[in-house]
Chains A and B, each alone.
Chain A
């Protein structure tokens, strides 16, 4: 079920009313009802995928108990490995099977052998990457004794299948979600009101920004060879805002929906395009995924490598830098792969990995240079220049993310850097999105210290607040683009 569908517009109030008026007396009933509602929401798309979700959730429930029961002996590790194998194996089969087979055939062809290509017709279950990561967190946290294995299967099923976050995150840590699930929840007026505000802002970003940008982006990326460089830059800019509007909009709707039911879900975006460097960008973009990779891949990998290194330098590189490069490289390779089974995503991840390493390398020299020149870190010109450079790197990397193949990405980039950059874009209609993007940027800049763009509870005048809501609703109705699916569903 799509958040921006009519079905959801019916589903949400019905579930909301039943949840607070019928099942509010008993926590077990309330949780049981939420599990049913979540499964209806998920199965509405395709009931076959629901069976997979239930099977994975039940298996992880049992594995969690298995790990905890054996936490004093080595069997605990065996349970964990079984859990990792099941979760990663399922993800690999459904998402990466064809990619791995094709890559293997390509590799074999490099040494002169040709194997026949036969791709399996595997349908990707929607949201699989998200609930698999939730499941992995659940069993790893139990293994690390950061979480107790929950014996109540309903609570575990709800943790791994809660409908606002099941399709595209945020990848809420079970440690934080379970603690809310097991406690009695009372209706909180201000939480619900702010949840509605966040849903409205999410819809604006999705319907007005992302859906309008999608049309222009498709046109520009499909016809890049016939368009001047100025149009291609516009295409890269529009895609940057399309994917931001699409995914952060989705996250806002998900978080806002969860708040209506009394749950606080982690913030997933924190105005990432206002970042002054690539590290800051990744602290603000898809926070739940970045922190997941940090905690479950980067940190364990860094520790693991550092324990094996006993010299100060490796290949003339300081050991701490070497560890950072290795851990970052692998983490960003996996981050790229997580987004999709295509080399374009791998390259996109590696570009970010390389720039993060470069940023890491230049931090100290930069400080020294600025100190020598007696320029403050917060100097406006420095801040703006660095923010623009960061945005430029991100935009260029998005070209790989959006392109169908690496070669078309390079051709697109080649087209971006030529003298036609000063030409007027061929189609004047392309420019119509700019005022909408301008509105988004201005609002988010003003609200950059708040959790979302429409957090206006500090405005005391009800009529002013309501006027702003009405203005946003009218913009959604009048300026919204054609309905597009959420981009991150494919991941």
Chain B
């Protein structure tokens, strides 16, 4: 019995030590080489970069809009978009315009919950962003529905976050899924650089049609169960401003676009958050001539153009592409 326990304890100690060493190797060699040091260069004629969450992903068709590239990803928060943009701009000075999807939910407090789930972004984070994750509890990022350490799965997350967040880049790799993505993603196989995790999944159209269920689901996802009480996220607003400064320092224009949304969704938006959203949309361009704001949320698209309450489907998307081309031609 004692022998059994001794062996078990030795096994566990070796596992922890081995994990640290393996993590050190994998993190510093594998992930750094994929993410940080080898951010691919986009083609030299790509001047417009679409970025943001699923709103940008479903709205901006980069195969129709010339000289553009859509590097958005669903459920991406500004916290993650900022860090991603930081790397892309460093490697791609030819980019002249960043088109960022900017809708009320992007600054909602609910977005904070998504920060910890974006483990594929961890290797990209700058020092300030790392601090936010390291103090996840104090920053209110931990999910409330089940205590952080209540299940094995949360322990797994705990290990992943904290090992990665240790100084000197020690720890386990955040997730090997992005690496697998990079290896096996079949789309765009003609252009190797587009397989990079920073640039996937790119533009994607929705083939479904609107239903009342999707409106309430989208609202709950964006603003929580108590929609009217949803407030703004200081973290998201900070990173929105940070993206403004980043564009300014890189001499790149930033266009904030509120993509088309269904009237049922617009009517149900939380009033105080929407007010804050509009004041930000006004103040940012006022304070910075590099930034502009375009609101297409209430553009009168019929129901048949929506895949759900806040995304156009492939039919609506074609119409919106023409509107985008007009806007970009006029302004840039």
Contacts and interface: CB of A to CB of B under 8 A. Distances in A.
Nearest to A428: B186
A470 B149 contact: no
A479 B155 contact: no
Interface stretch (A1-9, A125-133, A352-360): A1-9
Nearest to A24: B1
B151 interface: yes
A470 B18 CA distance: 9
A187 B15 contact: no
Nearest to A469: B11
A193 B4 contact: yes
Given A226-B208, A470-B15, A470-B18, A480 B151 contact: no
Contacts of A189: 1, 3-4
Interface string B1-16: 1011000100100110
A432 B151 CA distance: 25
B169 interface: no
B150 interface: yes
Contacts of B8: 196
Interface in A206-235: 207, 226
A6 B184 contact: no
A424 B19 CA distance: 38
Contact of B185 (A226, A428, A477, A482): A428
Nearest to A193: B4
A192 interface: yes
Contact of A478 (B11, B176, B184): B176
Interface size band for B: 20 to 34
Given A192-B4, A478-B173, A6 B152 contact: yes
Nearest to A475: B176
A276 interface: no
A466 interface: yes
Contacts of B176: 478-479
Interface string B179-192: 01000111100000
Contact of B150 (A6, A21, A431): A6
A347 interface: no
Contacts of B207: 226
B153 interface: yes
B328 interface: no
A473 B155 CA distance: 13
B128 interface: no
Interface in A446-491: 466, 469-470, 473-474, 477-480, 482-483
Q: Is the interface of A mostly helix, strand, loop or mixed?
A: helix
A468 to B, nearest CB: 12
B172 interface: yes
Interface in B184-208: 184-187, 207-208
B151 A5 contact: yes
Interface string B124-167: 00000000000000000000000001111111100110000000
A466 B151 contact: no
A99 interface: no
A91 B135 CA distance: 50
Nearest to B5: A17
B235 to A, nearest CB: 24
B180 A432 contact: yes
Contacts of B185: 428
Contacts of B175: 478
A91 B97 CA distance: 66
Given A428-B186, A432-B184, A478-B176, A6 B155 contact: yes
25 contacts: A6-B150, A6-B152, A6-B155, A9-B152, A20-B1, A187-B4, A189-B4, A193-B4, A226-B207, A226-B208, A428-B185, A428-B187, A431-B184, A432-B180, A466-B11, A469-B11, A470-B18, A473-B15, A477-B156, A477-B160, A477-B172, A479-B176, A480-B156, A482-B153, A483-B153
Interface of B: 1, 3-4, 8, 11, 14-15, 18-19, 22, 149-156, 159-160, 172-173, 175-177, 180, 184-187, 207-208
